[in-house]
């Protein structure tokens, strides 16, 4: 079925499509299968279920799939009009139907083909970042800026903070810091900085997020007091779509870098939101980040579904979640520089896929986004990997590692890292049977009765799926490709489910309600009534923090 014809059938309810029904039947046969038997029966299984794109290797052979599974998932993608939806996304069409906007983050990394405002903003970012890195920008005392503090939250912080951690040298000058939470983190950071040499970048698409505005005000107070000045505007820059609010705050027009409504916060690291990262890593390296993402975009646009890395990851993710019962998904990196990848993907995936109605407003009849979590594998395997190996929940894992270390060429240590990564995914797949345990224990001299007693406790069930993504090494280019891969993986799931990946009303309500509670927590009389719990919690807090009305 062609993409066009398929898209006309996209209105058919997801669970009534022929492919979905075939997958339900197909899954019933899975209960007797074990991955270690599939590997034993097919020496070519790795070759059959792996591919390279954007410089990355994806080994998806350790997933609960056969070629029939893959074929049915590909058929589902066509029945749901995935190719046409991808074309619309990449062409900047209004795929965000509730807010009537495009979600054109791919335009931010399309080089010379990018819209004029993208290219001019990138040019302005380069001038600003290069001047800061050359020590050419001074504060009110004439001293060069040595510390940058990025004030933002969510998509206005997670992306740049991840990129800085992954790609910027520790000796970067100026040093770049990130503050999201008001209060203690801000106070403690400012205590270590000199106002004369510090510049703040207020990163907020709305320029109204309570936490960020609070931090911006604290920064201004700190500067005015510390510099005994009346105008500290040159110690600020802003990345925002709300030019008026930024101007009212006192940020000069030449220090304003635009955000556009066709770029979602969690998809914005490629835009001016990436400015702190460009300052820390340099504009040439930031260009490499964009290039890596652009390479993955072209792969996503051109590769057929059965050879398309984001499509396969999205479709297999749907198979594991909606058919195999994987309620959460772990992203476990054996590359230290990716320590901030899990929180970044939590926002990307859970704010995009955490929905319960379709684009047409109908209740979704199947699971949407999974809970995403994870961490650094070298620590995980001494902690929660126990649960993934012997627990009762199916938790599909994405393992991510690099062939070469990021900084030095200590390949001996890297061998230890990789051995652990590969061991974890192999054990999840093959397990260790009770019979194998008994053989091992008795071979070691244990009597058969004791070995039989211990075997159930030491056996690993296996048959637990994982992907392994191998980067050549962690560079701006490979990071760009990796992040674009996950953006597109997220879109693939949303397209199959026919949900809007680009709005986030669930978090907008929270922002509003918090604003309405604030006056009471500042000791003012209640403006509205609340549920008994909220009212009691406010009273208790006021009683214990001296702000009783």
Q: Site for ligand F6P (CB under 6 A): which residue of 139, 160, 265, 337? A: 265
Q: Site for ligand F6P (CB under 6 A): which residue of 507, 514, 518, 541? A: 507
Residue 463 in contact with ligand F6P, rule: CB under 6 A: no
Q: Beta-strand (E) ranges in 382-454?
A: 397-402
| Residue (69 or 212) nearer to ligand F6P, CB | 212
Cα dist from 187 to 181, 183, 190, 203, 548, whole Å: 10, 6, 5, 18, 25
Tell which positions 333-362 bind ligand F6P, by CB under 6 A: 351
Residue/partner pairs of 506-511 with CB below 8 Å, 24 or more apart? 506/351, 506/354, 507/154, 507/351, 511/209, 511/210
Q: One of 8, 93, 362, 382 is an active-site residue; which one?
A: 382
Cα dist from 351 to 366, 370, 502, 534, whole Å: 17, 11, 8, 25
Q: Is 177 a catalytic residue?
A: no
Residue 206 in contact with ligand F6P, rule: CB under 6 A: yes
- Name the closest residue to ligand F6P (Cβ): 265
Residue 258 in contact with ligand F6P, rule: CB under 6 A: no
Q: Is 351 a catalytic residue?
A: yes
Tell which positions 213-232 bind ligand F6P, by CB under 6 A: none
Residue 156 in contact with ligand F6P, rule: CB under 6 A: yes
Which residues partner with 240 through β-bridges? Answer: 258
Tokens coding 104: 């054109």
Residue 55 in contact with ligand F6P, rule: CB under 6 A: no
Q: Return phi, psi of residue 331, to 5°.
A: -110, 110
Residue/partner pairs of 253-258 with CB below 8 Å, 24 or more apart? 257/121, 257/124, 257/125, 257/128, 258/117, 258/121
Q: One of 288, 335, 349, 351 is an active-site residue; which one?
A: 351
| Residue (466 or 500) nearer to ligand F6P, CB | 500
Q: Site for ligand F6P (CB under 6 A): which residue of 63, 150, 209, 308? A: 209
Q: Site for ligand F6P (CB under 6 A): which residue of 93, 511, 543, 548? A: 511
Closest contact distance (angstroms) between CB of 155 and ligand F6P is: 3
Residue 248 in contact with ligand F6P, rule: CB under 6 A: no
d(CA 520, CA 540): 12
Q: Site for ligand F6P (CB under 6 A): which residue of 26, 109, 205, 488? A: 205
Specify the 3-state DSSP secondary structure of 31.
helix
d(CA 475, CA 281): 11
Q: Is 389 a catalytic residue?
A: no
Q: Site for ligand F6P (CB under 6 A): which residue of 358, 493, 504, 520? A: 504
d(CA 547, CA 540): 10
| Residue (153 or 471) nearer to ligand F6P, CB | 153
Closest contact distance (angstroms) between CB of 510 and ligand F6P is: 7
Residue 473 in contact with ligand F6P, rule: CB under 6 A: no
Residue 489 in contact with ligand F6P, rule: CB under 6 A: no
Distance of CA 74 to the CA centre of its chain: 25
Residue 154 in contact with ligand F6P, rule: CB under 6 A: yes
Q: Contact, 264 vs 502, CB < 8 A? A: yes
Closest contact distance (angstroms) between CB of 173 and ligand F6P is: 27
Specify the 3-state DSSP secondary structure of 335.
coil
d(CA 274, CA 441): 55
| Residue (155 or 431) nearer to ligand F6P, CB | 155
Q: Return phi, psi of residue 96, to 5°.
A: -90, 90
Residue 322 in contact with ligand F6P, rule: CB under 6 A: no
Residues found near ligand F6P in the complex (CB under 6 A)? 153-156, 204-206, 209, 212, 265-266, 351, 504, 507, 511
Active-site residues, by number, are: 351, 382, 511
């Amino acid at each position: 079925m062609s993409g066009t014809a398929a898209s006309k059938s996209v209105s058919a309810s997801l669970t009534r499509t022929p492919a979905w029904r075939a997958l339900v039947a197909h899954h019933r046969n899975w209960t007797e299968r074990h991955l270690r038997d599939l590997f034993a029966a097919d020496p070519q299984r790795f070759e059959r279920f792996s591919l390279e794109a954007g410089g990355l290797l994806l080994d998806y052979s350790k997933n609960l799939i056969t070629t029939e599974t893959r074929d049915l998932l590909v058929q589902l993608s066509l029945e749901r009009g995935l190719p046409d939806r991808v074309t619309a996304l990449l062409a900047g069409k209004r795929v965000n139907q509730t807010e009537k906007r495009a979600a054109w983050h791919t335009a931010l990394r399309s080089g010379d083909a990018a819209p004029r405002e993208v290219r001019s903003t990138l040019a302005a970012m380069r001038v600003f970042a290069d001047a800061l890195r050359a020590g050419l920008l001074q504060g009110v005392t004439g001293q060069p800026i040595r510390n940058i503090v990025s004030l933002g939250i969510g998509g206005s912080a997670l992306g740049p903070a991840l990129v800085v951690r992954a790609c910027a040298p520790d000796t970067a000058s100026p040093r770049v810091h990130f503050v999201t939470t008001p209060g203690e983190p801000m106070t403690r950071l400012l205590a270590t900085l000199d106002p004369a040499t510090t510049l703040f970048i207020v990163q907020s698409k709305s320029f109204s997020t309570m936490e960020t505005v609070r931090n911006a005000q604290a920064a201004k107070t700190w500067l005015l007091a510390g510099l005994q000045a009346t105008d500290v505007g040159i110690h600020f820059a802003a990345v925002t779509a709300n030019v008026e609010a930024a101007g009212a705050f006192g940020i000069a027009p030449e220090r304003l870098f635009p955000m556009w409504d066709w770029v979602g916060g969690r998809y914005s690291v490629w835009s001016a939101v990436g400015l702190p990262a460009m300052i820390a890593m340099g504009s040439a390296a930031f260009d490499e980040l964009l290039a890596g993402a652009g390479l993955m975009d072209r792969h996503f646009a051109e590769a057929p579904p059965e050879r398309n890395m984001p499509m396969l990851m999205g479709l297999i993710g749907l198979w594991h979640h909606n058919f195999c019962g994987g309620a959460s998904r772990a992203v476990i990196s054996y590359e230290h520089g990716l320590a901030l990848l899990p929180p970044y993907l939590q926002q990307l995936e859970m704010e995009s896929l955490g929905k319960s109605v379709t684009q047409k407003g109908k209740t979704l009849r199947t699971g949407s986004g999974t809970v995403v979590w994870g961490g650094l594998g070298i620590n995980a395997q001494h902690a929660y990997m126990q649960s993934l190996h012997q627990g009762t929940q199916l938790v599909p894992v994405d393992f991510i590692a690099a062939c070469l270390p990021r900084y030095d060429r200590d390949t001996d240590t890297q061998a230890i890292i990789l051995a652990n990564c590969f061991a974890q995914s192999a054990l999840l797949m093959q397990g260790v049977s009770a019979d194998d345990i008994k053989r091992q224990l008795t071979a070691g001299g244990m009597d058969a009765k004791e070995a039989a007693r211990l075997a159930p406790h030491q056996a690993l069930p296996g048959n637990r799926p994982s992907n392994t993504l191998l980067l050549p090494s962690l560079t701006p280019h490979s990071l760009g490709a990796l992040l674009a891969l996950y953006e597109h993986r997220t879109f693939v799931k949303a397209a199959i489910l026919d949900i809007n990946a680009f709005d986030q009303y669930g978090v907008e309500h929270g922002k509003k309600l918090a604003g309405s509670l604030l006056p009471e927590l500042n000791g003012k009389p209640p403006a509205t009534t609340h549920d008994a719990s909220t009212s009691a919690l406010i009273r208790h807090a006021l009683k214990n923090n001296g702000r009783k009305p």
